[in-house]
Structure 1
């Protein structure tokens, strides 16, 4: 048996800063010293594609290491550990340390250094489109940091050598500031000159309408995050009233020009294949919870998300259980062709399915957006399921949703608001499985749904962790400020949790 420690498997900070998929030294080299940017010589058109590519690599690689949210995939049962490896207790029983997943902090902040420069370049050179994109994408990453760590540096962040030890800001205050940033970014984008950003925008090709829809959907996501807090309802109502321009209605994808060439392939494809295309994803395998749920509810997406093993069965592992060795007639399933579509496939930042499920939940809550109703909750729910099937290349969505009396798939089988909400979140969970597992983790912490996600069979805690611990590097280089925060454990709550 191959022996490996998961702490070693995780990308360490030193490696992270030099890894081609996350640093500025990518095949889209922007050659900017983040500590000494020059607004005279730097060009936003050269920085933007690299920044967006790095964002895609961050969010669209959920089963590669804990720095890109593999922990959420494992904890919620989307994936499992292979039985071919020794797994550290930290990963098995939720006894998190300051080294666990620490790269997420570094990656998001490093990515925001690029977006901060894009924002400043746009402002300095009179291009509100670049300014708005930089501001919006910074907010996107800061939202993730708050969702994982609560209090974070914000008002003094991104100052480089000028202030290498930024103070921490309250998580709720940061969220409110980010909401203002998104609104400001939306205004800048709406008021920009058409064509002021072109093909260097490898996400929307400078399409203002699509950027506005994306900003609105991120805003709705953040407002729903606060849905269970009674003292936030007036704030939510006020912010919903400011939304105009629609929501995401097509998959938000990023593609810098991926090639079927070593080092230039799509990130998630490359994580599970050799340079010649041979599958080598032997550390993370199918998750038993998701596999069994899909089998029990006749889900055609099963064969798109996972592959059958040697005996033609779909098999997943469970956290803390004895691992199942790979291969043979009884091995766990590999990830399937709907997820791993090819070396040049687009990287997904947000799916249309997620947008529809967000809107469906808002409609179920009778939220008014921009002075009017969101839409019909059932129709939006069904659009979400249809979009998920379409992305994965599965057929039979209508038949799937018509299963008589099945409250896990059929809207009309549910009666109460509680049942309908559970159905929305269940199908959102499946639609985002292995695509954006961080959002499924956020929903689980917000609502406790899906309610039957199993705990680790070696659990040292009676609950899935609520957060990550501040990274060890923060204690090393910004010790006074991080130590000034309230004492936290893995069970400490993010501000929007009940």
Structure 2
């Protein structure tokens, strides 16, 4: 599968299928036996996938990456990111994300399931796994959500909100159902209209299992119960026994982009349109500096020979551009002074999967599995270093790669009794640079990395507000006292 074919499909679908749920058939394909007789599912799937990629690189990424201090805002008080950086994200700020997700992505995926579950279940399997991913990220961001009554627009415009814990249970079942569908005989199967894996059902199964790992590891938290740990252990042990997980970076769940105008990575697009508002945070940069992390070469640009991060929470009054910026890992290949913008939006990677398993083994059996934890920890580091050079030139790639052996040989490259969880989560924090929500989730459930609230706040947000439009029109929307209220079940 060549990526240009996939992206051509994606770009045409995004342009042609706005409001697809009410569209008539766009082309006559009745005589093409390789396509669905009703073309909607083969068009809706890539439209939903493309929307997922853009959503996870847009507002929801900016809010959560600022709060967890992977990024910091600059540009003065009139710049929106400086307000977000000071935790001023309001209900109206959420309207677009909420609508894109519930009226757009989740609704479209549900239509794919309804159209294909009986005759072409490989489509419905992919859609079920994707619905589980979207819900996982949004439950972690918002807490309770419409789930069992969601997307029934013909009969229920005011769905109830299900508890975050019950949704998690439902997501495990949804993923299992999706994986089962991918293994069934199917009249038609996704090919170029699958923008993530090109119709490779084996990769969808592997991603589905990796997504279950992510769900289960969230049960391990600072205030988690013994019952939570038992539930998570049983789930992870079953996944490990099945031995069907991401194998390498080629299995990463990520959305790739093109270098053409308006077809690039949304983080890159934001940097291009607002070039002095979104910088790598001092928290992230100082952590990498302290470890002599050679991934800085592709993650960050140099400023007068040094890597310098911006301080969170002061960009509205202390305005400067004297900071390192995002480099090729986030923005794609560099040609002269221009970035290509083709770097992917990463959503769940092989590096993260390894750190999830490192954390799991560090937490279980009273520390007796620390050697196994260390093996996964080092594998996660190696995978991250490898991914870091995908868009590097030869000089930059050599600078990153040459530091791997030194990094692994140092105290940074191994976990030990007493600091294992901190080291694993800090490593995951770096490896997930550019990943929406998950670094914030890790901080909320573990307390790592150590963060200081921006002045004058005394705490860091634990939850996003609900959409103003949803609260206005759906009386079932729960009260949301403040963004500082612990709401998600694993954060209580």
TM-score range, shorter chain: 0.7 to 0.9
Question: How far does residue 152 in structure 1 lie from its aligned partner after superposition?
Answer: 1.0
Given that 1:469 and 1:490 are in contact with CA atoms closer than 8 Å, whether structure 2 keeps it comes out as: yes
SS of match in other structure, 2:279: strand
Quickly say closer, same or farther: Cα 1:365–1:79, change in 2 above 3 A: same
For residues 225-374 of structure 1, what are the structure 2 equivalents within 5 Å? 225-228=218-221, 229-230=224-225, 231-243=227-239, 244-251=242-249, 252-254=252-254, 258-273=257-272, 281-309=275-303, 311-321=304-314, 325-327=319-321, 331-341=322-332, 342-366=340-364
* Pair 1:77 & 2:66 matched: no
Given that 2:41 and 2:112 are in contact with CA atoms closer than 8 Å, whether structure 1 keeps it comes out as: yes
State the partner residue of 1:426: 426
Given that 1:28 and 1:50 are in contact with CA atoms closer than 8 Å, whether structure 2 keeps it comes out as: no
For 2:266 and 2:79, how far apart are their aligned partners in 1?
24
SS of match in other structure, 1:273: helix
Q: Which runs of 5+ in 2 are unaligned?
A: 1-9, 26-35, 333-339, 390-399
Deviations 1:326-382, CA, capped at 9 Å, x for gaps: 55xxx1222112221133334323221111111211222338xxxxx9992111111
SS of match in other structure, 1:160: coil
* Pair 1:402 & 2:409 matched: yes
Question: How far does residue 469 in structure 1 lie from its aligned partner after superposition?
Answer: 1.6
* Pair 1:49 & 2:46 matched: yes
For 2:11 and 2:198, how far apart are their aligned partners in 1?
21
For 2:22 and 2:187, how far apart are their aligned partners in 1?
32
Q: 2:374 aligns with which of 361, 378, 384?
A: 378
For 1:358 and 1:305, how far apart are their aligned partners in 2?
22
SS of match in other structure, 1:338: helix
For 1:129 and 1:306, how far apart are their aligned partners in 2?
40
Q: Which structure carries more helix by proportion?
A: 2
Quickly say closer, same or farther: Cα 1:477–1:440, change in 2 above 3 A: same
For 2:132 and 2:172, how far apart are their aligned partners in 1?
8
Question: How far does residue 214 in structure 1 lie from its aligned partner after superposition?
Answer: 0.3
Question: How far does residue 175 in structure 1 lie from its aligned partner after superposition?
Answer: 1.1
Quickly say closer, same or farther: Cα 1:30–1:105, change in 2 above 3 A: same
Deviations 1:157-196, CA, capped at 9 Å, x for gaps: 1112432111111221111111111111111113345982
For 2:188 and 2:22, how far apart are their aligned partners in 1?
30
| Greater displacement, 49-58 / 233-242 | 233-242
State the partner residue of 1:7: none
Given that 1:117 and 1:134 are in contact with CA atoms closer than 8 Å, whether structure 2 keeps it comes out as: no
Query: Structure 2 length normalisation: TM-score?
Result: 0.82
Given that 2:136 and 2:171 are in contact with CA atoms closer than 8 Å, whether structure 1 keeps it comes out as: yes
Alpha-carbon RMSD across the aligned residues, in angstroms, is 2.8
For 1:489 and 1:348, how far apart are their aligned partners in 2?
29
SS of match in other structure, 1:213: helix
Quickly say closer, same or farther: Cα 1:240–1:337, change in 2 above 3 A: closer
Question: How far does residue 127 in structure 1 lie from its aligned partner after superposition?
Answer: 1.1
Given that 1:362 and 1:374 are in contact with CA atoms closer than 8 Å, whether structure 2 keeps it comes out as: no
SS of match in other structure, 1:80: strand
* Pair 1:168 & 2:166 matched: no
State the partner residue of 1:127: 120
SS of match in other structure, 1:318: coil
For 2:158 and 2:12, how far apart are their aligned partners in 1?
25
For 2:162 and 2:23, how far apart are their aligned partners in 1?
25
For 1:377 and 1:317, how far apart are their aligned partners in 2?
33
Given that 1:352 and 1:384 are in contact with CA atoms closer than 8 Å, whether structure 2 keeps it comes out as: yes
Q: Which runs of 5+ in 1 are unaligned?
A: 1-22, 275-279, 368-372
State the partner residue of 2:183: 190
Question: How far does residue 467 in structure 1 lie from its aligned partner after superposition?
Answer: 0.4
Question: How far does residue 85 in structure 1 lie from its aligned partner after superposition?
Answer: 5.1
Given that 2:308 and 2:324 are in contact with CA atoms closer than 8 Å, whether structure 1 keeps it comes out as: yes
Quickly say closer, same or farther: Cα 1:293–1:181, change in 2 above 3 A: same
SS of match in other structure, 2:328: coil
For 1:253 and 1:147, how far apart are their aligned partners in 2?
18
For residues 16-95 of structure 1, what are the structure 2 equivalents within 5 Å? 27-30=14-17, 33-34=20-21, 41-59=38-56, 61=57, 67-84=59-76, 86-87=78-79, 91-95=84-88
Question: How far does residue 225 in structure 1 lie from its aligned partner after superposition?
Answer: 0.7
Quickly say closer, same or farther: Cα 1:339–1:265, change in 2 above 3 A: closer
